[in-house]
Structure 1
Amino acid sequence: MEWELITESDTFIMATRLVLAAFLGGLIGVEREFHQHPAGFRTHLLVSAGSCLIMLLAFFGFQNYINENPEVVNFDPSRLAAYVVSGIGFLGAGTILVQGYTVRGLTTAASIWVVAGIGLTVGAGLYTPAIITTVLVLVSLHVLAKVNFAFLSKQKKHFISITVDEETGRLNDLIRELEMVNVKIKGIQTEKHQLYNEKPMIEYRLLVEYTDHKDIATVSDRLHKYDFVKQMTMDGK
C-alpha cells in the first residue's frame, strides 16, 4: 500500500520522467559523441531533460493556483511546449558550420530538435512514442548513415585536387570555370603545401557533381589555361 502511494505521487512521477528523458536523450548523444560531432552526450541529455522539466512545469507547476482560482484561469499546458519547440532552434543553429561550400552539423541540429521533442513527450507521460522515436533516431543516425543513396541519382561525383600558386591562385576563377560547364561544387577542402619550385602552394580538394564525363574533361582543359594552376588530379567517388 505504501509503495503504491509512492509510485502515484507527483514527485515520483516527475522524477521517473526526468530520468527517462535524460536517458533517452543521452543515448542519442552517445552516438553523436562517438562520431565527434559538436553537440554530444551532455548536450543531448540536457536538452531532453530540460524539455521534460518544462513539460512537467506545464502539467504540475500551476495545479494549486488553478484549483484555487478555477473561475479566472484558462490554462493550456501545450503553450510551454510550443515555446520549447520554437526556442530550441538557437541551439541547433550553433551546431551548423559553414566552411566554404561545405555545410556541416545539420544532422546534429536535427537530432537536438528531435531530442527536445522526446523530452516533451516523456514529460507528458507518453513513454512508448518517446522510446520508439529514440530507436528511430538511433537507426537513422547510425545505420542509415552508412547507406549510399547515390544510385538514385544520375549525377556522378568526383574529387578534383587542384594545386595552385598561393600568391597568384584565385579560387573564384576556378569556381567560375566549373560552373560554366555545369559542374556543381558540393564541398571544398583547403590544404597548404610546402614550397614547390621555391613557391608556397595551396591544394584545393573539390567534391564536384556532374552528369556527363565530357564536362570533367572540359574542366581539365579550362583550368590548365591558368598559369597559377600547377597540378590537377581526379578520382571518383
Structure 2
Amino acid sequence: MPSFLTDAMPLTPTWWDIGTRITLTLVAGGLIGLDRERGGHAAGFRTTILVALAACLAMIQANLLLSVYGKTPGSFTQMDVLRFPLGVLTGVGFIGGGAILKRGDMLTGVTTAATLWFMTVVGLCFGGGQILTGIVATAIGFVVLSPLKRLDTWLRCEQKATLVVRASNGNIPELSEVLNPLTCHVGFLSLQRTADGSAEVTFELRWLANDPDASARAIVNALSNTHDVADFSMKSVTT
C-alpha cells in the first residue's frame, strides 16, 4: 500500500486528524445532501449529513479503540472494534427501509435509500482515515446522482400501465389499431362482465418513452376517441 495512504490512517489519530475527517465528511454529506434536497427527496441536506457524520464518528471511535483491541490476561471479554461500523450499517438499513414506500404499483424512495447507504460507507472511509478513497467516492456519487440524472431526459425507458376499457357488447375490444402507431404493446389480463351485459376488460400496456407523462397522455387521448376508458394507471418506480 502506498505510504501516503497509510499516513492518513494512524493507529492513534491526533485532534488534527479527527477534525480533518469530520470536516471532509461534512463537506461530502453536504454536497450529496444538497443535490437530494433540491430534488425534493425525503432524505435531504441535513439527513444525509447526519448519516455520514454518524458513520464517521463510529469509525473514529473504532480507530481510537484500536490500542485496546484484543483480550488482556486479566479480562473476561474481548473488544471487537468492528462492531461499531457494522452497527451503523445495520441502523442505516432500518432508515433506508423506512425511506422506501410502496403505494399500489408505485415504488418510491429506492435511490434515497441507496444514497443513505452510500453516504454511510463514505463516512466510514473518512472516519477510518481513508481520505483519498472517501474523496473519490464522493465525487463519483455526486456525478451519478446529479449529472447522470440528466440521462432521464433523453433515455427511453420501458413504461407500464394498466388499462380498463368498458365494452358495451361484452366482447374483448381490439386495441392494436390504435396502439400500434404509438409503438405500444398491449396484453390481455382479465374480463369482468356486468349485470347489463357489458364488460370491463383489463389490459397491460408496455411502451418505450423518455417522457412518461406525455406518452401516457397521448395513449389515453388516442384510446378515448374510439373506446370507453374506465381506468388508466401507471406502474412506475420513483427515486
Matched, 1:128 2:153: no
CA contact (8 A) 1:51 1:84 kept: yes
Q: Is the 8 A contact 1:28 1:44 kept in 2?
A: yes
Aligned-pair distance for 1:92? 1.2
SS across alignment from 1:177: strand
1:80 to 62, 84, 89: 84
Task: Check whether the contact 1:160–1:207 (CA below 8 A) recurs between aligned residues.
Answer: no
Name the amino acid aligned to 2:148: L
> Which amino acid letter does the alignment assign opposite residue 37 of structure 1?
H
Q: Please state if 1:140 is matched with 2:165.
A: no
Structure 2 residue aligned with 1:178, among 203, 210, 227? 203
Secondary structure, in 3 states, of the residue corresponding to 1:39?
Answer: coil
Task: Give yes or no for contact 2:70–2:80 (8 Å, CA) kept in 1.
Answer: no
Counterpart CA distance in 2 for 1:86 and 1:77 is 15
Residues 1-237 of structure 1 mapped to structure 2, 5 A cutoff: 10-61=14-65, 63=67, 65-66=68-69, 69=72, 72=75, 74-148=78-152, 150-151=155-156, 155=158, 157=159, 177-179=202-204, 183=205, 220=223, 224=227, 229=230
Distance 1:176 1:26 in 2: 50
**What SS does the aligned partner of 1:125 have?**
coil
TM-score by length of 2: 0.60
Please report how far the alpha carbon of residue 78 of structure 1 lies from its aligned counterpart in structure 2 after TM superposition: 2.6
Q: Which runs of 5+ in 2 are unaligned?
A: 1-11, 167-190, 193-198, 208-212, 233-239
Question: What percentage of residue pairs aligned between the two structures are identical?
Answer: 29
Q: Which segment drifts farther, 9-18 or 114-123? A: 9-18
1:128 partner amino acid: L
Whole-angstrom CA distance in 1 between matches of 2:200 and 2:33: 37
Equivalent position amino acid for 2:47 in 1: T
AA aligned opposite 1:69: T
Q: List alignment gaps of at least 5 residues for structure 1.
A: 1-7, 165-171, 186-204, 209-215, 233-237
Q: Compute the displacement of 1:67 (Å).
A: 9.0
In the TM superposition, residue 79 of structure 1 has moved relative to its aligned partner by 2.9
SS in 1 for 2:99: coil
Find the aligned partners of 1:86 and 1:116 in 2 and give their Cα distance: 10
Report the residue type matching 2:129 in the other structure.
G
How many angstroms does 1:133 deviate by? 0.8
For residue 224 of structure 1, report the CA deviation from its aligned partner: 3.8
1:93 counterpart SS class: helix
Give the TM-score of the pair, scaled to structure 1.
0.61
Tell me which residue corresponds to 1:201.
none
1:186-227 Cα deviation digits (max 9, x unpaired):
xxxxxxxxxxxxxxxxxxx8987xxxxxxx79x949x9457x
State the SS of the aligned residue for 2:202: helix
> How many residues get paired?
181
Kept in 1, the 8 Å contact 2:162–2:203? The answer is: no
**Using the alignment, how far apart are the partners of 2:129 and 2:80 within structure 1?**
16
Asked whether the 8 Å contact 1:39–1:108 carries over to 2, the reply is yes
